[in-house]
């Protein structure tokens, strides 16, 4: 960890990001059918299900698209959608959580979006 911080300090261009998140992050959980979607405020992320939770990044090097001050970032790692994509992302992807009634709840989101501005 110390080596990474030293590298980022010595080479700040490596740490630069093109987009700055200026508002809360949201995601849509459409279930396995993709028919009925619900939007949730995404409060945390983890690399493994139910492991250490981290806050959503405030800077992004790339976004999928930017429209009207909103940035969209693909949440899963697979290029597939539907059941197979959720299966692949469940093994290899990140996990996203909303916070409700005093606890974090896992959400299967495919797209993360938030207000942003270009740096």
- What are the residue boundaries of the structural domains of the chain, listed by start? 17-118
Pairing of strands 19-29, 38-42: antiparallel
pTM reported for the whole predicted model: 0.69
Q: What pLDDT shows up at residue 47? A: 81
- The pLDDT tens digits for 51-95 are 789 998 899 898 999 999 999 998 864 444 444 444 434 444 688
Q: What pLDDT shows up at residue 82? A: 47
For residues 5-26, average pLDDT: 64
Alpha helix (H) ranges present in the chain? 2-10, 82-92
């Amino acid at each position: 960890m110390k080596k990474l911080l030293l590298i980022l300090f010595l080479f700040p261009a490596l740490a630069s990001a093109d987009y700055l998140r200026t508002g809360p992050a949201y995601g849509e959980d459409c279930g396995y059918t993709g028919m009925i979607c619900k939007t949730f405020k995404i409060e945390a992320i983890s690399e493994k299900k139910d492991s250490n939770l981290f806050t959503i990044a405030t800077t992004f090097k790339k976004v999928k698209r930017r429209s009207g001050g909103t940035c969209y970032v693909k949440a899963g790692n697979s290029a597939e959608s539907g059941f197979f994509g959720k299966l692949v992302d469940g093994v290899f992807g990140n996990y996203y959580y909303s916070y409700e009634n005093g606890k974090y709840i896992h959400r299967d989101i495919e797209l993360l979006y938030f207000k942003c501005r270009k740096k």
